[in-house]
Structures are given as C-alpha cells and as structure tokens.
Amino acid sequence: MGFGRDLRNSHEGLLKLQDWELKLLDTVKRFMSQRVKSDKEYSALLLSLSQQQQESEYISTVSKSWGQLVRHTEALGKIMKSHAEELNSGPLTKLTALIRDKQQVKKSYQSLHQSLESYHHKVTKSDLEKLKSTYRQLIRDANAARDKYRDAMSRGREADKARERYDKALTKLYNIHNQYVLAVGGARTQQEVHHNSSAPSLLDALQRLQEDTTLALKCILQEYCDVSSLVTDDISKVHQEICDAVEQIDPETEYQPFILQYRSEQDPEPSVEFDSSLLEETENLQINEIQWNTLTADSLQAVLASTLEELSVTQQNLQTKESLVQDLDLKIQTREQGERASDCVQLLNQKLSLLELRQTVQSLRSSEARLISQKALLEEKMSAGGASQAPPPPPPAPPYEDDTRSVSSADKNRTSRFDTLRHSLAGIITRSPKLHSSSSSVSLKYYYCYCYYYYCCYCYC
C-alpha cells in the first residue's frame, strides 16, 4: 500500500491527516512544556527546602542522618533541574522544529498539488477550450470569406480581393487547426504523464516525508523517555510502559489504517481526443493531421523552431535540476549515516527541499515529453521519409472548388491556361537546385513572384 497507488483522489483526506498530526504535535508540545515547568518548580522547591534547613547544634546519629537526607534532597533537586534543562534544550526544542517543518510540509504539498493540478487542467482543458473557440470562429470566418469569394466570382467584380481575403481566412484556419492538433497531442501526453508519474510521485514523496516526521517524533519521544527517567521501582514501571508504547511506533505501518479508510478507486479520465465536430463545416482538414502546404509552411517552420528551442532549454534545465537532486540526495544519505537517530529531525528541511527539486524535475520531464511528442508530429509531417538531409518543399495548398468555375468560356480557358502556367513554374522552382538549397519560405516567394509576373503579362496580352 502507498499514497501514490491508493490515495490519488484523496487530497482532502491527506490535508485532514496533516491537520490531525499538527494538532497532536501541539498537544505533545504543551505536555512537554508543562513537564519542564513542573520539573523546574519541583527542583526549585527541593533546593529551597534544603537551603532552609539549619544544622543542628546537637550532633547525633539522627542529626547526621538528617543532614545526609537534606544533602541528598539537594542533590535530587540539582538532578531534577538538570533534567528540566535537558528536556527544554533537547526534546522540546526539537519538537518545536518538527512542528515548524511539519507545517512547511503541508504548505509545500498544497502548493505543489495546486500547481500540478492547475498545469494539468490548463494543458488538458483550458488551452484546448480556447483553441476550440478560436477554431470555430475561424471556421465561420473562412466560410464567410468563401461565400464572398463565390459571389465575387459570379459577379466578375473584385474577385482577386475576395480571393486574397479567402486565402488569409484559410491560412488562419489551417494555423489554428495545426495548433489544435499539437495541443491535443501534447495534452494526451500530459495526461498520461500526470496520471502515471507526476501525481503518484508527489504522493509517494509526501508519504516518505510523513514517515520521516513520524520517525523524528519517535526519536524525540525516545529521548524524552531517556531524559525524564527516574530510577525507582514504581516510576520505572510506568516509564517502561511509556517506552513500550513509544517502541510500538512504526513509521512504515503508521499510515496503513489511514490508507485503508480513505482508499479511493481511480476513475479513468476521458482521453483527450480531437473534436471531430470542428470539421463538419470545413474542407481539406483531417483529424489529427497537420496541414503542411504553401499556406502553413512558414508558420509550421516557426512553430518547429520554437518547439526545438523550448525543448533545448527544458532539457538543459532538466539536466541541471537532476544534478542538484543527486547532490542533495547524496548529502542527505551521508548525514543519515553519520548522525544519531535522534537528530534525524534536523534533516527534514533538506528532505523537503529534495522533494521540491524532484517535483521540479518531474514537471520538466512532463514538459519534455510533451515537447518531444509535438516535435515528432511536426517532423513526421514535414520530412520526406527521413531520407533527405533537409525537408522537401511543402505541397501547394488544396485547390479551391471555384478555381475551375467562371461566368464564361473565355474566363474558363484563361483560368485553365493560367493554372497550367502556374504548375509549370512550380515544377521549375521545385527542380531548381538553388531553390532547394534555400529555405521553403524563399521558394514560396520566388514561386509567387514568377506567377504574378507571368499572370500580369498574360492579362496584358
């Protein structure tokens, strides 16, 4: 049994557990404070009694015995005072530090859990909803631009401007489609990492810290027993019972009843999938397929470059944090081997720092996995089977359904001849080694310049 496996949906129960333990520690602290106070008062009373006694002028066996009794009472008072000071500087001081660290553990766990859940919700829900809203709006804009383009073609007026607006609308639609595909892939990866690694690792780390605090409390109570022990038959009996009760504390089995009581079944979260309803009113778009064409080439290359840069930064940060985790973990292990068991409470602050570092590493690994999956989606679409050194030029954008329609046979013939010229130029540009050595954006610029030039010449003729 463990927190990461059995308590994934028991966040509120874990907070209650930490509140209960903090209340218990406050009760133990008040008890020890009263014990220190009473021992000091008792020792002061014994010393005062011994100092108030006057030596008998008559020396006898009774007076000698009485004098020894007073001296032993004074010695007992000094022993009790020493015990009170040792209790105050030892177990009570450590217990105060333990309460402070326990409060910090709860605060850090709440912060890390909130950050983890917030990031998970952002990647798998909020970002997707924003993209879907923008997606739907751009579909409406593209459809409106298409209708205006058809109307302009039928009237034979301002067709070029309408087509330019249609191109811009489709470019925005294709770009948001690509963003949504990447976001869905990243969200699916984030979902798997969150449920299989991030959340369980946080809970397991919390359990280890809980067990460490339990062990620290056990060491404090053992030290309290050693300091407060009085060698008498009746007190020794009570003291032994206390020691036996303390010995029964087992950090490894401490939380098993709590786990059994608050065990929760893990409800499988619905997998993040592409919303196919977005494609009901559009064309040339496929589910989970990136649009790689002349309209999206520049945007996708910029996205790939940004993804590669972010992935590089993430991997560098991940390497740095992993090195810090290893160093701190080795430092903690070295101190645990060299210190007494009762001093383990002094390591809790470092173990808390180690937990926060490990959660940072886990978060970076989650980001790395998401970026790698998005990078793979982009490179798979943009590469030419992995055989060439550079990705091939992007294919032309899908043809518009009205490219082959016109109001007269002369317009139809002109469009057909222009398309033939355009595709011939595209073949020339594609086969040109100079253009192949340049980026795809340069190829596109040359392509459109040639097309526009010959189209103007043709129209003039």
Delineate the domains of the chain, giving CATH numbers in brackets.
3-384 (1.20.1270.60), 408-461 (no CATH)
Residue appearing with tokens 């998970």: 120
Q: Would the pLDDT of 406 be above 60?
A: no
169's tokens: 């609308």
Q: 106-137, pLDDT tens digit by residue?
A: 999 999 999 999 999 999 999 999 999 999 99
pLDDT of residue 426: 47
pLDDT of residue 2: 86
pLDDT of residue 227: 84
Q: Are 98 and 345 in contact (CB under 8 A)?
A: yes
Calculate what percentage of the chain has a pLDDT beyond 90: 39
**What is the pTM assigned to this prediction?**
0.67
CA 238: distance to chain centroid?
Answer: 49
Q: Would the pLDDT of 46 be above 80?
A: yes
Cα–Cα distance between 364 and 23 in angstroms, integer?
A: 36
Cα–Cα distance between 308 and 298 in angstroms, integer?
A: 15
Q: Which residues contact 354 (CB under 8 A, 6 or more apart)?
A: 325, 328, 329, 332
Run of H or E including 360: helix 348-382
Q: 66-110, pLDDT tens digit by residue?
A: 777 777 778 778 888 888 898 999 899 999 999 999 999 999 999
Calculate what percentage of the chain has a pLDDT beyond 70: 78
pLDDT of residue 288: 84
Query: Among 196-200, 265-269, 324-328, which is the least confidently predicted range?
Result: 265-269
pLDDT of residue 128: 93
What pLDDT band is residue 428 in, cutting at 50, 70 and 90?
very low
